[in-house]
Amino acid sequence: MSRWIVVLAALLTFSSAGAQTLKVRHDHDPWGKCVGELSFSENGIVFSSEKEEHNWSWGWTDIQTVDRRSESEFSILSYADQKFLLGRDRPFDFTVLEGRGMDDTILGLIQSHLPRPVVDRLPEEVERVDYEVNVKHLHTFGGCEGVLRFGPDVVVYDTSHAKDARTWRMGSAIVGVWSVGKFDLELEVYEREGGDLLRTRRFRFQLKEPLDPDFYYHLRRKLVPVR
């Protein structure tokens, strides 16, 4: 069953059940931590800490993105300035301490309300794979190997290098796609972290097999519609 069917069904239950709450640890930057509860509702996200000075409340338009690194670790990127880091936007890092983590139900709620795309590092299982290719994701130094899978409405990079695994929704998370040769493919996506100055990021892949030109043509048409 598609992850999104599960999420939709769960959201219908969620809407009638009220806010969902996680017991979490907030890791301070550059040191320290506090424990509290993080609640997700139709109105936004609220962190209630054991230390009152660390209580936070964000409406959905107060959040740039949510980065799900795993179900137990994630961050919220706010618009607040970090005064000692030249005004860079402040991220809030959380670790789930017990029980359920940030599963697809909670992530689905966030995606349905957040104006900007989220960063999802958990690769989705693609039910209908339209195209699949083995690749190497090129880093600044070195890279990691995995598989790119393209479904009707999703692109997934599945790799054992968990930091680089991704699920991108077509039409919202992907800005564009390019290829300068049959063994090259680049995806530009909406993604940034607190220390980044750019609002988008390019993922460059070295293909282990020649790129199918017909698939690439139709992918370009889908992601970059002709006006």
Instruction: Break the chain into its structural domains and give their ranges.
Output: 3-120, 131-223
pLDDT band at 216 (very low <50, low <70, confident <90, very high): very high
Q: Is 110 exposed, middle or buried (0-12, 13-18, 19+ CB in 10 A)?
A: buried
Is it true that 3-120 and 131-223 share their CATH fold?
yes
Query: Does residue 215 carry a pLDDT above 90?
Result: yes
Average pLDDT value for residue range 32-42: 93
Query: Does residue 61 carry a pLDDT above 90?
Result: yes
Alpha-carbon separation of residue 118 from 15, 56, 113, 198 (angstroms): 20, 20, 11, 16
pLDDT digits (tens, 9 = 90+) for 86-121: 667 889 999 999 888 999 999 999 999 999 899 999
Strand order through the sheet with 143-150 = 166-169, 154-159, 143-150, 131-138, 200-207, 184-190, 174-178
How far is residue 130's CA from residue 110's CA, in Å, rounded to a whole number?
27
Query: Does residue 10 carry a pLDDT above 50?
Result: no
pLDDT digits (tens, 9 = 90+) for 182-212: 999 999 999 876 555 558 899 999 999 999 9
pLDDT digits (tens, 9 = 90+) for 72-87: 999 999 998 877 766 6
Class of domain 3-120: mainly beta
Higher pLDDT, 54 or 143: 143
For domain 131-223, say whether CATH 3.40.50.10330 is its number. no
Residue the block writes with tokens 């809030």? 92
- Cross-strand partners of 188: 176, 202
Mean pLDDT of the chain: 88
Report yes or no on whether pTM surpasses 0.85: no
pLDDT band at 3 (very low <50, low <70, confident <90, very high): low
Query: Does residue 35 carry a pLDDT above 60?
Result: yes
Q: Give the lowest-confidence range in 5-19, 52-66, 120-134, 159-173.
A: 5-19
- pLDDT score of 90: 87
pLDDT digits (tens, 9 = 90+) for 130-178: 999 999 999 999 999 999 999 999 999 999 999 999 999 998 899 999 9
For 102, the token pair is: 């940030």
- pLDDT score of 6: 47
Cis bond before residue 30 (omega within 30° of 0):
yes
Alpha-carbon separation of residue 167 from 53, 94, 111, 151, 157 (angstroms): 35, 21, 13, 11, 7
- pLDDT score of 85: 65
How far is residue 86's CA from residue 196's CA, in Å, rounded to a whole number?
12
